[in-house]
């Protein structure tokens, strides 16, 4: 298996990265406007979680696509970057830790929001109902678990990059001329971090599905305590939320799990396949924002009315321009 990226392919990669980042930032700003101006009063608490997600996504886009600009060469544990921070001296290892922390933050907000909705729906006598203090400490424990992997990797000993790069098969010594580069030795600590990350992703995905399953179950058995219209509205909002969460599950959890598996099981996946997985991860903000806007009725109506208003203004301007050019 050969691993090589031509200069033309590298330029195409960065061009696609910039185009994707521009679309992502535009959709994120649009989502911000909707969240800040069009969120119904009864969803203000929910808005806090989504604003947190939007802030993390915006920081992730700017960091990866402008400040860092990395290219990874999985299944080889190597990468280089040409961004501003890399040229200023930031190592690939540090950049990787920052990206891991940002993606973990997305997971934190998603899990916290799902747990919040779960607690709101549960009746007070349900055994799974948490007190405010328990909920607070649970979120704190979640923060510790999600940051532990990043910190463990950060404090792991730095490898002898030059020796590892010279002895690695297939030959990837050509990355020395492309930018700030790094080669990670797959030590026991790194393997432990990879396995722990895969287990954490599986547990997180299973938890999200289980929480939604339990919420729908509670709604079904508590039907007599809610009006039919209220139960229908809650089920609809949960279905929309679950659809919105398919994006992080599909565009973050699956690609990252496959990348970690490739490091643990060499030869399982090709370089081209894993490169596409890395690019898919960067598409998450766009998919998240599109679903957030299109599946939320208030946001969708706002965007449609804004577009219609722009179209009418354009048509009025054209009519006035034609009228002003007539001769009487």
From residue 126, alpha-carbon distances to 14, 129, 134, 212, 215 in Å are: 52, 5, 15, 16, 12
Decide: 267 and 75 in contact? Cβ < 8 Å: yes
Query: How many CA within 13 A on the CB side of residue 30?
Result: 22
Radius of gyration of the chain (CA): 24
Sequence-separated (6 or more) residues with CB below 8 Å from residue 287:
247, 251
DSSP conformational letter for 127: T
CATH 1.20.1070.10 assigned to domain 7-323? The reply is yes
Q: What is the pLDDT of residue 315?
A: 57
Which bin fits 110, alpha (ψ -120 to 50), beta or left (φ > 0)?
A: alpha
Q: How far apart are CA 101 and CA 26, in angstroms?
A: 23
Give the closest residue to 152 by CA, choosing from 180, 183, 182, 191.
191
For residue 192, what are its two tokens? 């432990």
**Whole-prediction pTM value?**
0.80
> How high is the mean pLDDT in each 10-residue block of the chain (328 residues)?
82 88 89 87 80 88 87 87 87 86 84 85 83 83 80 79 81 84 84 87 86 86 73 81 76 87 87 88 86 85 81 53 48
* Number of Cα atoms under 13 Å in the Cβ half of residue 253: 18
pLDDT score at 312: 59
Q: What is the rounded distance in angstroms from the CA atom of residue 269 to the CA atom of residue 187? A: 20
- Which one, of 264, 95, 252, lies nearest residue 180 by Cα? 95
The ranges assigned to domains in the chain are 7-323
Beta bridge partners of 80: 71, 181
């Amino acid at each position: 298996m050969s691993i090589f990226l031509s200069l033309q392919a590298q330029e195409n990669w960065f061009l696609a990265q910039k185009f994707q980042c521009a679309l992502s930032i535009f959709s994120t700003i649009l989502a911000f406007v909707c969240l800040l101006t069009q969120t119904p009063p009864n969803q203000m608490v929910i808005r806090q979680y989504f604003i947190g997600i939007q802030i993390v996504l915006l920081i992730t886009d700017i960091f990866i696509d402008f400040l860092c600009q990395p290219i990874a060469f999985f299944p080889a544990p190597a990468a280089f970057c040409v961004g501003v921070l890399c040229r200023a001296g930031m190592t690939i290892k540090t950049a990787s830790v920052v990206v891991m922390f940002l993606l973990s933050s997305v997971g934190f907000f998603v899990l916290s929001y799902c747990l919040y909705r779960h607690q709101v729906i549960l009746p007070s006598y349900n055994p799974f109902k948490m007190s405010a203090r328990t909920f607070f400490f649970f979120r704190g424990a979640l923060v510790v678990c999600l940051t532990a992997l990043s910190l463990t990797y950060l404090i792991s000993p730095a490898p002898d990059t030059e020796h590892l790069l010279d002895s690695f098969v297939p030959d990837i010594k050509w990355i020395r001329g492309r930018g700030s580069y790094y080669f990670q030795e797959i030590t026991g600590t790194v393997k432990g971090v990879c396995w722990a990350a895969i287990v954490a992703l599986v547990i997180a995905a299973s938890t999200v599905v289980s929480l939604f399953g339990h919420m729908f179950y509670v709604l079904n058995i508590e039907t007599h305590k809610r009006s039919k219209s209220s139960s229908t509205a809650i089920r609809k909002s949960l279905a929309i939320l679950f659809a919105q969460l398919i994006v992080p599950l599909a565009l973050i959890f699956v690609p990252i799990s496959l990348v970690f598996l490739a490091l643990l099981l060499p030869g399982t996946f090709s370089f081209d396949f894993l490169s596409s997985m890395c690019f898919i991860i960067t598409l998450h903000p766009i998919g998240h924002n599109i679903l957030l806007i299109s599946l939320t009725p208030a946001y969708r109506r706002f965007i449609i009315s804004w577009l219609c208003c722009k179209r009418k203004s354009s048509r009025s301007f054209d009519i006035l321009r034609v009228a002003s050019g007539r001769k009487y």
